[in-house]
Structure 1
Amino acid sequence: METPGGGDASTEDERAAPIVWNVLDRRTYWRNIIGFWILGLCNNFSYVIMLSAAHDILSTQEGANTTRPTPPPNSTQMPSASVPGGGTNRGGRFDCNSISTAAILLADILPTLIIKLVSPFLIHLLPYGYRVLFCCFSALTSFIVVSFSVVTWISILGVVFASVSSGLGEYTFLSLTAHFQTEVVWGWASGTGAAGLFGALSYSGLTQGALTPRHTLQLMVLVPVIQWASYFCLLVLPPTFSNWGLENVDGSAARRDRDEGLEEQPLIPSGGSGSMESHLNFSNKMQIIQRFLKYTVPLSLIYFAEYFINQGLFELLYFPTCFLGHSAQYRWYQTIYQAGVFASRSSAKCFRIHRIWIPAVLQFVNLFFLLSVVWFSYLPTIWIVFAIILYEGLLGGAGYVNTFNNISEETSDREREFAMGAASIADTMGIAISGAVALPFHNWLCQLG
């Protein structure tokens, strides 16, 4: 029988040992992939929930400032009000909130953007264990604050907590993939896609059924608890990896050995919280960032286009004669979009895309088409919009998973941890710019007579 390192075993003991190692390695392999899948799911869950609840948050709390009657406790229909004074704009050409859902998007993404801009140069000073605990605490706080909020600004504050959790988590866990086998990147990407689908679907389903938006958000406090358990109980961290200390050893050699199915060898010390980034100076980091602009710039454009659609146009794609109400239409747009994202982010094993500019161009085609639909209102049925939104999600998810897979494969062991984390700013930058543009655009449309 051949041993993991090659060569023939000559004794019974030598034949038995590789079997044990193979079984243990297989279990570790799948525990880590599943662990990163759950981390991706939980990390993006609060972010997705806040975007799915954006229409309800604004409608409910703006309507609370009026004297109009409120709906029954279990109703998902939100009160209307005239503008100014809050509520929705029922007198203009479009049926929309006086504050765009892009306001929720900006609160959900700007803290993430700040974290990702700073993290490439400072985050290696903070051990991974503390980062994960802070992510879980911020997510828990976000659900509690928004669910008990009675005014919009407090809800926005809760959304900020969700953004901090998601942004720090994405940078942390993408960097952490450098210490594991390469397949965990696929597990992470698929999990983040699942967060979109399950987050939007659970919110839409629960609010369409028996629960109010407030009670639905309160139920979501279980998510950060699962995230904590996945990291601290499920992942099999390298034996040389420290969650809490600032002194650790470089995990690049361990990662290479795990990829090759070999027993781990002694590793070379590095300075700082298990991070390989400490080997890179400022010039090295800027060179890495520049080298992968061919992936990160198209990814930013993809996310600009799709989030302009999601937060600038979704609420305006309203079909008055549809069997779904306005709030329900918005929620199901989000759900269908996330279904497409989940499918494509889980597709890395099936097909690969190296030219990320292709889905970027196609996403802008979607943007201009749906913009024409909003302006001219020529589509006869909501089902066509559902199909386009599903396609939109497929493009966005494909751009994300292929960007990080390409970067992971094209970096050396010492570059990979920094490159994966730094590249995560691409989608955030596109989303932030999109929210900044979609907000005034939406408000301008809502003021049209």
Structure 2
Amino acid sequence: MDHRESINTDPGVTTGAEGRCQRWRNQSGFWLLGLCNNFAYVVMLSAAHDILKQQESHNATVTTPGHLDSNSRNGSNSSRYDCNPTSTAAVLLADILPTLLIKLTAPFFIHKMPYGFRILVCVATATTSFLVVSFSSTVWMSILGVIFASVSSGLGEISFLSLTVYFSSDVLSGWGSGTGGAGVAGAVLYSAFTQAGLSPRVTLLIMLIVPAVMIISYFLLLVFPPSFPQWRSGSGLSSEQDFQERRPLITDDNDEGSVPDEKRRDNCAGNTFSFLTEDQRTGSLTFSDKLHILKGLLKYIVPLSVVYFAEYFINQGLLELLYFPASRLSHAEQYRWYQTLYQIGVFISRTSLYCVKTRRIWVLSFLQCVNAVVLLFSVYYQFWPSVWVVFVIVLYEGLLGGAAYVNIFYLIRVETGEREREFAMAAASVGDSIGIALSAAPAIPIHNYFCSL
């Protein structure tokens, strides 16, 4: 076994049939945790939109149907683009801000909250989001429900990414694949239930099974190491021990005298890889230590932000404008297929970590930016002959985004020392949320510009 895959596991239970069973349980557990963590967020976006539409129709009883139709089609009547007056990026911005706030702040204090308690908070907020949106009677209640889903997703992501450091590295592949599957499963199941005649309220109440699956996956399926801090803080060193056992957070490969004997060369990354004892690994990091780690993480956070900036600029600013009237598919059907193919691409590439890994993260970021530029020009000049060309590009877009996500976190895992790895996995997750939030800034005015032509 690769030495990088034996992090904090008991060698006595990782061999033979028992070891294979343990690995299967952990991989399956993280796959389900990834699915459940992102599922509520994905479903909330669609459900809140449906309920908001119902509330708007109820609040519009004083307006004649003819006036309603005029307002709803105003954007397309005065523009060569069939688009809504308000960009979907406006909704996206409201959805991503709670997650962004959590990812920016929580890594600095979340270690004081035991993992078991964090998972219960994620389950409680996800359950609350389903209940609030399903029984909402006003716009602000629907938005509040989406905020609860965003909090659950953000807290869950930083917690589960940090949790992977206690297991073998293949659980990261399970987590990535599960999060990719959430987009496909959430969209397909919600559409299937509503198309079958169930109301959005009943559909959301059925989805309450998802938080229950999260509890089962975490508390019953995962096989935790004996020393795992389930209901206590992970910081277990006294100040004197911490001082004696500390290692440099980033070691210069050229400084031969500073590399301890237990340091080994990481064959994949070409960097030193630290193996610390349990007490050393759980030693508390100071605020300055964390800032120093963040500085080193910029080489991962920046390309992750660029990838997500480009793809959400495409998804929320451009795809609605890529409408092909000659197609047999309606505008709504074309847009629905755009989103579905994107999620399929994300799922495939996030699952690919099992067999394919790459260090060329900046290449993925560059290619995603090329996609954004090409689709921006295609919106303006409308030179594509068929919607099928855009379908292929959107699938390719999802493949690039998912590959960047899982490979960045894999590289963080193998290139950081054990003592800082748990914080690094949580802190780097802010990259995608920053990119998503920033994408709304150009997406909204560009959408409005095209709709005004």
TM range (shorter): 0.7 to 0.9
Aligned residue runs from structure 1 range 56-67, under 5 A? 56=50, 59-67=53-61
Q: 1:433 to 1:134 in 2, by over 3 A?
A: same
Aligned residue among 23, 41, 50 for 1:47: 41
Deviation at 1:444, TM superposition (A): 3.9
2:230 is matched with which residue? 243
Percent identity of paired positions between Structure 1 and Structure 2: 55
Deviation at 1:153, TM superposition (A): 2.9
Aligned residue among 416, 421, 437 for 2:421: 416
2:28 is matched with which residue? 34
Deviation at 1:19, TM superposition (A): 9.6
1:361 is matched with which residue? 366
1:224 and 2:229 aligned: no
2:77 is matched with which residue? 91
How many residues matched? Answer: 403
Q: 1:163 to 1:18 in 2, by over 3 A?
A: closer
Aligned residue runs from structure 1 range 325-340, under 5 A? 325-340=330-345
Which segment drifts farther, 403-412 or 200-209? 200-209
Aligned residue among 112, 118, 123 for 1:125: 112
Which segment drifts farther, 54-63 or 168-177? 54-63
Query: Once the two structures are superposed, what CA deviation does each residue of 1:388-435 show, in whole Å capped at 9, x if it has no partner?
Result: 110000000000010001110111111110111111011111011112
Deviation at 1:191, TM superposition (A): 0.7
SS state at 1:299 partner = helix
Which segment drifts farther, 336-345 or 311-320? 311-320
Instruction: Quote the Cα distance in structure 2 between the aligned partners of 1:426 and 1:154.
Output: 29
Letter in 2 for 1:24: E
Instruction: Quote the Cα distance in structure 2 between the aligned partners of 1:378 and 1:142.
Output: 42
Instruction: Quote the Cα distance in structure 2 between the aligned partners of 1:61 and 1:92.
Output: 26
The answer to whether the 8 Å contact 1:189/1:345 transfers is yes
Instruction: Quote the Cα distance in structure 2 between the aligned partners of 1:54 and 1:101.
Output: 13
The answer to whether the 8 Å contact 2:193/2:203 transfers is yes
Q: 1:82 to 1:53 in 2, by over 3 A?
A: farther
Aligned residue among 419, 432, 435 for 2:437: 432
SS state at 2:308 partner = helix
1:398 is matched with which residue? 403
Q: 1:183 to 1:19 in 2, by over 3 A?
A: closer
The answer to whether the 8 Å contact 2:14/2:22 transfers is no
Deviation at 1:54, TM superposition (A): 6.5
Deviation at 1:310, TM superposition (A): 1.1
Instruction: Quote the Cα distance in structure 1 between the aligned partners of 2:386 and 2:85.
Output: 26
**TM-score of the superposed pair, with normalisation by structure 1:** 0.82
Aligned residue among 250, 271, 281 for 2:286: 281
1:149 and 2:143 aligned: no
Q: 1:247 to 1:385 in 2, by over 3 A?
A: closer
Q: 1:353 to 1:151 in 2, by over 3 A?
A: same
Instruction: Quote the Cα distance in structure 2 between the aligned partners of 1:42 and 1:361.
Output: 31
Deviation at 1:108, TM superposition (A): 1.9
Deviation at 1:123, TM superposition (A): 0.5
2:273 is matched with which residue? none
Q: 1:290 to 1:248 in 2, by over 3 A?
A: closer
Query: Once the two structures are superposed, what CA deviation does each residue of 1:339-391 show, in whole Å capped at 9, x if it has no partner?
Result: 00000001113222212111111111111122222223332322221111100
Letter in 2 for 1:416: R
The answer to whether the 8 Å contact 2:308/2:436 transfers is yes
Letter in 2 for 1:360: S
Which segment drifts farther, 165-174 or 278-287? 278-287
Instruction: Quote the Cα distance in structure 2 between the aligned partners of 1:123 and 1:409.
Output: 22
2:90 is matched with which residue? 103
1:349 and 2:354 aligned: yes
Q: Relative contact order (alpha carbons < 8 A, sep ≥ 6): 1 or 2 greater?
A: 2
Which segment drifts farther, 29-38 or 140-149? 140-149
1:192 and 2:171 aligned: no
Instruction: Quote the Cα distance in structure 2 between the aligned partners of 1:104 and 1:290.
Output: 32
Query: Once the two structures are superposed, what CA deviation does each residue of 1:89-112 show, in whole Å capped at 9, x if it has no partner?
Result: 342313333332222212221101
Letter in 1 for 2:27: I
Instruction: Quote the Cα distance in structure 1 between the aligned partners of 2:391 and 2:278.
Output: 53
Instruction: Quote the Cα distance in structure 2 between the aligned partners of 1:298 and 1:91.
Output: 40
Q: 1:396 to 1:432 in 2, by over 3 A?
A: same
Q: 1:164 to 1:192 in 2, by over 3 A?
A: same
Instruction: Quote the Cα distance in structure 1 between the aligned partners of 2:195 and 2:407.
Output: 35
Query: Once the two structures are superposed, what CA deviation does each residue of 1:139-160 show, in whole Å capped at 9, x if it has no partner?
Result: 1122222233344332222111
CA RMSD of aligned residues (A): 2.8
The answer to whether the 8 Å contact 1:39/1:227 transfers is yes
The answer to whether the 8 Å contact 2:345/2:399 transfers is yes
Deviation at 1:69, TM superposition (A): 8.9
2:160 is matched with which residue? 173
Letter in 1 for 2:151: V
Structure 1 stretches of 5 or more lacking a match? 1-16, 71-78, 251-255, 257-265, 271-275
**TM-score of the superposed pair, with normalisation by structure 2:** 0.81
Which segment drifts farther, 151-160 or 334-343? 151-160
